[in-house]
A and B are shown apart, each in its own frame.
Chain A
Amino acid sequence: MTETSLSAPTLRVDGVCKTFSGHKAVDDVSFSLNAGERVAMLGHNGAGKTTLFKIVLGFLKRDHGDVAVMGAAPGSHDARVGTAYLPESVAFPASLTGKEVLTFYARLKGESPARALPLLERVGLAEAAKRRVGTYSKGMRQRLGLAQALVGRPRLILLDEPTTGLDPISRQTVYELIGEIAGQGTTVLLSSHALTELEARTDRILILSKGRLVADDVLSRLRAQAGLPIRLKVWTRPEDLAHVSESLGGGQMNGRSVEFNCNADDKVKALSAISALGNLVEDVDVHAPSLDDVYRYFSSTAGKEA
């Protein structure tokens, strides 16, 4: 492997546009992913995530722009050898066993089944390997799909909503696996709706809105960029409500509590003001903007601009 291919991005998407009968599904999207990155692509239903995936895989032709998968054209043999894909919903042949399904995909990818089968153990399906896929739960089928994507150590893995419909423990397994394979230098691009679970598990976040890429950064910087306020809720006795509200510089009163916003920079100042109130305060809730809020901010600003 040459020096350039190591430093070159695993996936480069440059100004890609795709229009379906007058509707712009993907509009001038550019980004690039490097080796070992875990990147989450967020977007509402119909934002263009799956369309973009299909363009990267070469199933759909782009109208404009350029895509390079490890330097090769999307859908070319070289690109497919290094890429793995897990579609949003897959129904494997119900009459085959998990082991047979994995063997099938290993053979297609030119990997020896003997080397691929330990993957079943890694996704926690070792015991179910000889059972028919028809008897699998949704989580087990999704994990089988993930095992399929890991066959042959691809350099780029595209996962379309890999955790939809999974229980919290299965989700955790999925993210642990993603972390593990990214640690080996594989680039993982996943799309998701479940935003909060992504917070600690991705390196970078792309937000698509109406086919346009409206954000591309690490979460902490996106949060700062959005400048979303921290929401503080101070619980007190009803008779002290007015006094507390006044000394905290106003705020919305709801019976037993006062709510107000403050900037991230003023958080400590606000908290010390609250503690200065002493025993007037019964409790304090601090609500930092979650990924959901950040996501809503970016997709709604994009909506206003459009």
Chain B
Amino acid sequence: MFSRILTVAGQEIRIGIRNRWILLAAMILAVFSLALALLGSAPAGTLGVDRLTITIASLASLSVYLVPLIALLLAFDAICGEIERGTLLMTLSCPISRVEFLIGKAVGHTLVLAFALVVGYGLTAGLLVAAGFGSLSGLADFARLIATSILLGVCFLATGYVLSSLTRQSRTAAAASVAVWLMLVVLYDLALLGALVANPSGVFASDVFPYAILLNPADAFRLFNLAALGASDLVGGMAGVADTLPFDPLLALGSLAAFAGLAMAGSALLIKRIAP
């Protein structure tokens, strides 16, 4: 069982290396995080806060946009693309179960994403530490950012698999992925913000809003990281809610893990029903 999962995972990693997907994702993350580290933290230089911490706070916001996008791009083709190319028929006629196949894909894609994050963000962290801006505790924050980014990535990988097993054409799955990204990462926040501005002191603000943030993995990720940094006062914006939350920010981490688990279970159920 494990050898079959590792075989599928290994093939995904190999393909990721061959078509330079890993390289591209790592470069995008490195370029954006370096830009944020070098330019974005300049105004905070006089605040006396560890510059690495400031950078991590901005990187958390960057991850919210980039990691779901990269994960969805990796995952949308995983099942319907293989149906289109005829390889799913061939692979599933081998003695491998569909769930093993799916887990293999997930492991492979997660490792691709993890590599890109470690290299991309690691480059920035290394540069900052080498330049004397960082401390050891800052590095621990960095490790947490990368680990939770991977978890966020798994949430959206699994979402991608769900979309990929619901559609029979990879073009449709690609369009659906873009729509989901836009909805969960951009529009969800805007809608919440709009509702909050319209009625800042009502039931919505106190009882619905915090849990609405918890439900969306992108928001839960940002909430957890900013709360863990204690940097909400520095970064402001939506992060300010962390202080007034009716629950422990750790719950946000639990929500991320639950979302990833549920979405993986959902895609496992869906792939069992596919007639390739």
Contact = CB atoms under 8 A, between A and B. Distances in A.
A95 interface: yes
A56 to B, nearest CB: 10
Interface of B: 3-4, 7-8, 11, 14-15, 18-19, 85-87, 89-96, 275-276
Interface string A101-132: 00011011110000000000000000000000
Size bin of chain A's contact surface: 20 to 34
Contacts of A60: 275
Contacts of A89: 86
Interface of A: 54, 57, 59-60, 77, 80-81, 83-93, 95-96, 100, 104-105, 107-110, 145, 148
Contacts of A83: 93
Given A59-B89, A93-B11, A107 B3 contact: yes
Nearest to A132: B18
A54 B92 CA distance: 11
Chain A interface mostly helix, strand, loop or mixed?
mixed
A107 B89 contact: no
Contact of A59 (B4, B7, B18, B275): B275
Contacts of B89: 54, 57, 59, 85, 87, 90
Contacts of B96: 108
A108 B7 contact: yes
A83 B7 CA distance: 20
Contacts of A92: 85, 87
26 contacts: A54-B89, A54-B275, A59-B92, A60-B275, A80-B93, A80-B95, A81-B95, A84-B93, A85-B89, A85-B90, A87-B86, A90-B87, A91-B86, A91-B87, A92-B85, A95-B15, A95-B19, A96-B18, A104-B7, A105-B90, A107-B7, A108-B4, A108-B94, A108-B96, A109-B94, A148-B90
B91 A108 contact: yes
A49 to B, nearest CB: 14
A88 B86 contact: yes
B17 to A, nearest CB: 9
B85 A90 contact: yes
Contacts of B86: 87-91
A87 B7 contact: no
A109 B95 contact: yes
B94 A105 contact: yes
Nearest to A61: B275
B275 to A, nearest CB: 6
A80 B15 contact: no
